[in-house]
Amino acid sequence: MNKKVLITSRSFGKIDHTPYDILAEAGYEVTNIGASFDQAAFEAIIPDYDALIIGAHEFPQETMERCKRLRIICKHGVGLDNIHLEKARELGIAVCNTPGTNSNAVADLTFGLMLSAARNIQRSSLNVLKNVAQSVIGVDVCYKTLGLLGFGAVAKCVARRAKGFGMSVLTYDPYVTEIPAEFAGYVTLCTFAEVLSGCDYLSVHMPLTEETHNMIGKSELASMKEGSILVNTARGGIVDEKALYDALVSGHIAAAAMDVVEHEPVTADHPLLTLDNVIITPHVGMYSREAINAVGVICAQNAAAFALGKPLQHRVV
């Protein structure tokens, strides 16, 4: 019986056919439900598959327990918060992701959001579209202080871009004890509190865990400089959205630009959408042609390696 792989990521193989070719050469029967993904349908059919290339949706533990054939889960991206890793380990299911492949894409979006929020680019463009002749005053990004929560691959790429703008960078990462030599002179390792109070722009680059859930709440936002700007391209749920809304309404936080919210997709009645100093994009951080293709290829290579009994890349379980 041929091995079967289920794909639920809507962007898998969108750039070229290489990922599909890799799966075919490994003898897989391929099913892709990403374009019309339905959670109930996924949970009904996944027990019939040997491999899963998963997007950002939930994979419930009770569903995983019914998957007697499933032996590998390849995350089409980096974040693993939608996969119950301990359950996978218990069931003997390998889990891989694709770290580093989308770092430049996410860093580009991070800086784009920062610039748009600082210079009111989105608001100014909307004024033109509405035929409203109104100038909106913004603030500079160059020579300001950028705070980075987390100093992994994406944050390092953001820091490199910040250097080009003459920015000073403060970073907090509980797993980093020394800043690499490349960043000497403009990146300083600080405490969480020092980053919050010292930055003009705060950019979030941490995973969503029990420890980081709502780690930026009312008191943390209040400790930031008045008029500072928050950017989140990591995960929704790290920033308390009610507290952020209140800080934006009060003006203490001048603007927020987010590629993620706690519950996605964002609903039309979300309070943050009522504010003109908020930018929200639909979790498109990795959506560059280069990143999408690289992520798809690695996922396909890992599924193929499993089928052929070869070592896996970026295995986390």
Give the residue numbers annotated as catalytic, written as ranges: 235, 264, 283
Q: How far apart are CA 194 and CA 170, in angstroms?
A: 8
Cis amide bond preceding 207, omega within 30: no
Residue type, 310: K
- Residue 218: which of 252, 253, 260, 247 has the closest Cα? 247
Q: How many CB atoms lie within 10 A of CB 8?
A: 23
Buried-state track 154-188, b at ≥16 Cβ within 10 A, e below 16: bbbbbbbbbbeeebbbbbbbeeeeebeeebeeebb
Contact between 286 and 102 under an 8 Å Cβ cutoff? The reply is yes
Q: In what order do the strands lie in the sheet with 278-280?
A: 187-189, 168-172, 145-149, 201-204, 228-232, 253-258, 278-280
> Would you give the end-to-end CA distance of the chain in angstroms?
26
Task: Give me 37's structure tokens.
Answer: 């993904």
